[in-house]
Amino acid sequence: MFARLARVARVLIATRPLRRFAQRLGKVAVVAAAIVVICSLSAYEAEHPTNPGFATIGDALWWGIVTLTTVGYGDIVPKTTAGRLSGVAIMLTGVAVLGVLAGSLASLFGLGGAEAGSEASVVNDTDAAERLPLQEELAALRTQLLAVEQRLAELPSGAEPESAN
């Protein structure tokens, strides 16, 4: 079963939009994980002596993840200024992660249009839509040009080509 899932994931990642989506989210995940670890450890250092909710580093990391995901159970709450500032940093990161995720999904599914202010995606969509008919027209013109060149090559030297009118 895992082999099938891996095969499907490999095929999906092979497409350019999904690869770009995964790269974008990968960078965001690394930054978010770093902020959660750093802020959770700083909250642990500030809260550990007096707050039983931060008894272990694992508790602090749990609090950081719950805060990042905006779940916020309330089972562990920082009481010091340093702990609360760490919480604010994690909360802002969580909101930013959700914003990037929503924007990336909208971009992946082509939901952002000119009204969303993404002129670059409109240009890319227009280019992609116009490229195929232009390529077909160019191929037809090449075929016609080859036919004209062949007719010119068949003419005896010194003879004038006949008028198309």
For residues 52 and 134, give the distance between their C-alpha atoms in angstroms, rounded to a whole number.
69
Cα–Cα distances in angstroms (integers) from residue 69 to residues 26, 63, 84, in the given order: 16, 10, 16
Residue 40 burial by CB count (10 A; 0-12/13-18/19+): exposed, middle or buried?
buried
pLDDT in tens, 102-161: 888 887 777 765 444 444 555 555 566 667 787 888 888 999 999 999 988 888 876 665
Alpha-carbon torsion angle 13, 18, 21, 26, nearest 10: -10
- Give domain limits for the chain: 2-111, 113-157
User: Which CATH architecture fits 2-111?
Assistant: Orthogonal Bundle (1.10)
